[in-house]
Structure 1
């Protein structure tokens, strides 16, 4: 794990200077001070390394957004929490975000596209959860509102990451986006996107982290890495719950409380909450 993290850290420095395409495995290994053989023990290819970056970036952001939104004590706060947490995450991870958004159009990789589609569907789930707590003028416009919210996100992220517009006040940006979204929710009456045509936006990609087997594999890796005994034991018990057909949601929720503050456990906790429909 230490070597993997070293490769990611050093590769990011090179990617920031010269981009994905212009950076070779040889340059990465030279910058790390390791052999090519050591690189290939950690990553099968440069593409796999890039996907690891995307996984790390998106898992952290989505887990943070989902947790923050569902932790809101009042539904009125969900929208502002969503916009604030999303933009703060991109701001905090601006180095990789800038590289990725500038270069993703040049990186054609089926595995990468599948991962991006998967994470996009997770964002859709969170936004639809928020929309279900808004007062809409016409309930049939909810999927149009989903697209509009995602449009706001993309346009403003482009301004900050691609055009490098300074993000001087995150609170004002959040209030502005909330105001625009509420106007659309209140006054939009003509739907264009139906539930049926929006289904493609909600479909998850096959072979993702959603099934119990893959969540268990993630837990087993965490058990090896984590030293805190309470968290390690909680992960063991969560693994047993996933392997059993009869589970107590109260027990699972309590175990999730034990691991929720560990950054390494955020993604597993998110996947388990989703699997069992457990609210914060």
Structure 2
């Protein structure tokens, strides 16, 4: 395990117990068994470490739901797969998800608030794409209300995983929310949230990454990855960015190779958007 990953994993254990503010760099280095100098070779500050953890968690979550929305062929299954992927992510990353919920409610750090808003807008964009695919013109005037209803379901029911020690049947929960969402889509007639209101309150989405920035991210990941199929796939995807020669089928296969690697989620998400998958 490279030192950066070790610091992220070990610091998460402390943050889960104590929160961001109460955890010091000294405590992190002692918990990792490394020197402060080694810490600062990986991260310039505790804030940079926190940002890296947020990016890691959110990139995996967003990449997962985006993949579901774009690759579930059967529309009858799309909502179910979306909700199931949402709660599966919360279950697998419950420690950090719990921290995020608490910190968002307590945070006065403007940079963190802007980062949360930016990811929130990406999630809304994915949900809107799903709604338009599923319901089309039938929800022309209510689709923005539906976005907030779906986000509300995700937030409220995820708290069952995070704050209550009760067994949760993700399959049943997802089926139940599919039924509720379909009822809202079919019967809502008095929308409150309009496109104009969305434009007024939205923050800019920071997903307009340039090809140069994607190439820089790939270079970073190539350093972090050992010799593996993911690394070889990233090398070929980098070449495709620089000089397109591969067929769409091959590109899609290479993207599949990196999709499930925990440290390739975000770059996979960006590459899918760049290549149009």
TM-score (norm 1): 0.87
C-alpha distance after superposition, 1:115-137 (max 9, x if no partner):
22221122112211210122364
SS where residue 133 of structure 2 aligns?
A: coil
Q: What residue is the counterpart of 2:100 in the other structure?
A: 100
Q: How far apart, CA to CA, are the structure 2 residues paired with 1:230 and 1:21?
A: 39
The question of whether the paired residues in 1 share the 8 Å contact of 2:56 and 2:263 is answered with no
Q: How far apart, CA to CA, are the structure 2 residues paired with 1:266 and 1:223?
A: 14
The question of whether the paired residues in 1 share the 8 Å contact of 2:90 and 2:161 is answered with no
The question of whether the paired residues in 2 share the 8 Å contact of 1:16 and 1:95 is answered with yes
Q: What residue is the counterpart of 1:48 in the other structure?
A: 48
Q: How far apart, CA to CA, are the structure 1 residues paired with 2:200 and 2:210?
A: 20
Pairwise CA RMSD of aligned residues?
2.5
Q: How far apart, CA to CA, are the structure 2 residues paired with 1:271 and 1:116?
A: 18
Q: How far apart, CA to CA, are the structure 1 residues paired with 2:120 and 2:210?
A: 18
C-alpha distance after superposition, 1:154-205 (max 9, x if no partner):
111234323x152421111111111111110000122222223223677643
Q: What residue is the counterpart of 1:11 in the other structure?
A: 11
Distance 1:29 1:160, change over 3 A: same
Q: How far apart, CA to CA, are the structure 2 residues paired with 1:219 and 1:20?
A: 29
**Unaligned segments of structure 2, at least 5 residues:** none
The question of whether the paired residues in 2 share the 8 Å contact of 1:134 and 1:185 is answered with no
Q: How far apart, CA to CA, are the structure 1 residues paired with 2:37 and 2:205?
A: 32
Q: How far apart, CA to CA, are the structure 2 residues paired with 1:202 and 1:244?
A: 36
- How many Å apart are 1:39 and its aligned residue? 1.4
Q: How far apart, CA to CA, are the structure 2 residues paired with 1:273 and 1:108?
A: 34
The question of whether the paired residues in 2 share the 8 Å contact of 1:114 and 1:205 is answered with no
Q: What residue is the counterpart of 2:159 in the other structure?
A: 158
SS where residue 21 of structure 1 aligns?
A: coil
1:57 aligns with 2:47: no
SS where residue 142 of structure 2 aligns?
A: helix
Please show how residues 212-223 of structure 1 align to structure 2 within 5 Å.
Answer: 212-223=211-222
- How many Å apart are 1:146 and its aligned residue? 0.5
Give the paired residue count: 276
SS where residue 196 of structure 2 aligns?
A: coil
TM-score (norm 2): 0.88
Q: What residue is the counterpart of 1:184 in the other structure?
A: 184
1:269 aligns with 2:268: yes
SS where residue 192 of structure 2 aligns?
A: coil
SS where residue 73 of structure 1 aligns?
A: coil
The question of whether the paired residues in 2 share the 8 Å contact of 1:63 and 1:266 is answered with yes
